[in-house]
Structure 1
């Protein structure tokens, strides 16, 4: 997923724990963290030098994470939340460009019903 895709993510639609993580360390850093540790607890040390997180996050983000969560293990949400939202945006866009439900279902490995639900949700979501 590239930066342009990430910029399209509506943070308000993500789980609260992921919203908090984004508020703490930023969208790109939160995405990076979910890709590596998503779905598992991660201990946040009190000192940056004692963590492999220093190899993953820039110093300001790691400092912010430590300031907020030092000494505890936090459950890192899965990256699926980002990926699903981007996939759904692409489905809605390609649908409005004229791609059929059947073609979209084949392309994304989803059922016709799922494609219909995604398109319907887009019409119900306030912009």
Structure 2
């Protein structure tokens, strides 16, 4: 996934914990954190030099993260939240281009029912 894909994400549809992380460090940095640490807790130290987060976050984002969460162990959401939303957008776009449910089910490894549910959600949004 590249930065262009992330611009399609509807942040309001993400879990509150992920929205708070995005609010603190930005969408791209939050995405990188979910890729690296998603699904497990990550301790946020009081000093930037004491963390491996400096390898994936720019200094300003790391400083904001430390300012807000220093001394806490954050439960980092899984990257699945981003990937699922982008997958559903791709299914919606393919549907608009006339792609059938069975082709989409095969392409994305989903059941026909799941494709139908995603299509219905896209229509009601």
Q: Displacement of 1:83 after TM fit?
A: 0.1
1:47-90 per-position Cα deviation (integer Å, ceiling 9, x unaligned): 00001111110000000000000001010000000000000000
What pairs with 1:1-127 in structure 2 (closer than 5 Å)? Answer: 1-125=1-125
Q: CA RMSD in A?
A: 0.4
Figure out how many residues of one structure are paired with residues of the other and give that number.
Answer: 125
For 1:67 and 1:56, locate their aligned partners in 2 and report how far apart those are by CA, in whole Å: 17
> Which runs of 5 or more structure 1 residues have no equivalent in the other structure?
none
- TM-score when normalising by structure 1: 0.97
- TM-score when normalising by structure 2: 0.99
Could you list the structure 1 runs, at least 4 aligned residues long, displaced by more than 6 angstroms after superposition.
Answer: none
